[in-house]
Amino acid sequence: MKTPALSLRGVLFDLDGTLLDTHEAILVSMRHATREVLGAALPDDVLMRKVGQPLEAQMVDFTDDVEKQKELLDVYRAYNHRVHDELVQAFPGTREMLEALRGAGMRLGVVTSKRHWLASHGLELFGLDGFFSVLIGSDDFPEHKPAPGPVLHGCRQLGVDPESCLYVGDSPFDIQAGNGAGCPTAAALWGMFPRSVLARENPTFLCTTRSDVVSIADL
């Protein structure tokens, strides 16, 4: 992990694959939607390669038919909502990480490509919502990751300059957005994308564990 000197005042997190382990819920929902609408599930690597962007952007890769894209979205959401609470888990050590960061005086927020209400529900499900003063969902801002706009908006809402706000995420789109916003970035290697994919985006830090994120706040 690189160790540049920082003076952090805030930390923004992605949600899926960073704070919450949603891999299984997303994958089974993608398989279900493509089977129902297209007649066959696509390869898992195709289904998951754009996770981290809004669902609308992901469905475009599966078919050129605009109506089927809309149907995929509806079928995915209906199924995902049914299985969400059963299949989603908080990553071990997430609460301890957030407690340590809050104890170090960090302002905390979430910037996710998930819709606000479902992101809020996921945080509440594991009692994590109280750690965050800011939650930016895909329906809260017109731009979406990998564009930097949502991260910059999160920084403004936290009241922290981008250079003093770490953005933590597990997808290349997270790192692209954070880097574009001028934030130091931390790639969460416990998420849905391999180290090689994340390292190509030149994150400021490569974090293997939640405690690595806490260590950054001490730099």
Q: Where are the domains of the chain?
A: 10-21+89-217, 23-87
Domain 10-21+89-217 CATH assignment equals 3.40.50.2300: no
> What is the pLDDT averaged over residues 36-53?
93
> What is the pLDDT averaged over residues 77-95?
98
How far apart are the C-alpha atoms of 65 and 67, rounded to whole Å?
6
pLDDT at res. 67: 98
pLDDT at res. 41: 79
How confident is the model over 126-143, as pLDDT tens digits? 999 999 999 999 999 999
Bridge-partner residues for 21, per DSSP? 89
How confident is the model over 49-76, as pLDDT tens digits? 999 999 999 999 999 999 999 999 999 9
- The answer to whether the 10-21+89-217 and 23-87 domains have the same CATH topology is no
Q: Which residue has the tokens 């706009």?
A: 149
pLDDT at res. 4: 58
CA distances from 60 to 33, 103, 107, 208 (A): 13, 43, 36, 32
pTM reported for the whole predicted model: 0.94
Domain 23-87 CATH assignment equals 1.10.150: yes
How confident is the model over 168-209, as pLDDT tens digits? 999 999 999 999 999 999 999 999 999 999 999 999 999 999
pLDDT at res. 1: 46
Q: How many CA atoms lie within 13 A of 158 on its CB side?
A: 31
pLDDT at res. 5: 63
Flag whether pLDDT at 113 surpasses 70: yes
Count the Cβ atoms, other than its own, within 10 Å of residue 17.
Answer: 22
For the four alpha carbons of 71, 77, 173 and 23, in that order, the dihedral sign comes to negative
Which amino acids are annotated catalytic?
A: 14
Flag whether pLDDT at 2 surpasses 60: no
- What phi, psi does 109 have (nearest 5°)? -150, 170
How far apart are the C-alpha atoms of 24 and 88, rounded to whole Å?
8
